[in-house]
Amino acid sequence: MNTSIENELLGVVEDILNLDDLMRFAAIIDLDGTIIEGIMKEGKTSLESQKEQEKFCKEASERRQIRESYNDSLGKIRYVHLERENVTQITIYPKTCTILVTMEPELSIEKKLGIITKIKKIASDL
């Protein structure tokens, strides 16, 4: 990957993390499930090991393929919002990659939906 694209993707991830103080992690994942760019927000610690994080990203790619198999009957998938006890996980599906973000669960649903909308705008060219 060339430096210009790497810098662009780094900028996208940084922009996503800057959307709210309660953001934890943002990653851009290729369609095979490999993390192209990922950053843990400064001052936050990962709830998963590196190996678990990589496995989760690989599985996110597999889940995307499964979900997209229903696009003809149900319409194109926009995003997935997963609420866990310790973290909120949002997965967004631009054309050429998958964006995975985590945030603190105490954000209101309205705030989370606003963040999703902003991420979709930030990632609209991906």
Domain, as residue range, for 26: 3-122
Q: Which of 71, 67, 62 is nearest to 30 (CA)?
A: 62
CA distance 126 to 120: 10
pLDDT tens digits for 43-83? 877 767 778 888 888 889 899 999 999 999 999 999 999 99
* Number of Cα atoms under 13 Å in the Cβ half of residue 44: 19
The pLDDT confidence band at residue 2, using thresholds 50, 70 and 90, is low
Residue 32, pLDDT above cutoff 80: yes
Q: Which pLDDT score, from 0 to 100, does residue 80 have?
A: 95
Element (H, E) at 28: strand 23-29
Place of tokens 């889940």: 63
Number of domains in the chain: 1
Terminal-to-terminal C-alpha distance of the chain: 14
For range 6-20, the mean pLDDT? 91
CATH number of residue 7's parent domain: 3.30.450.30
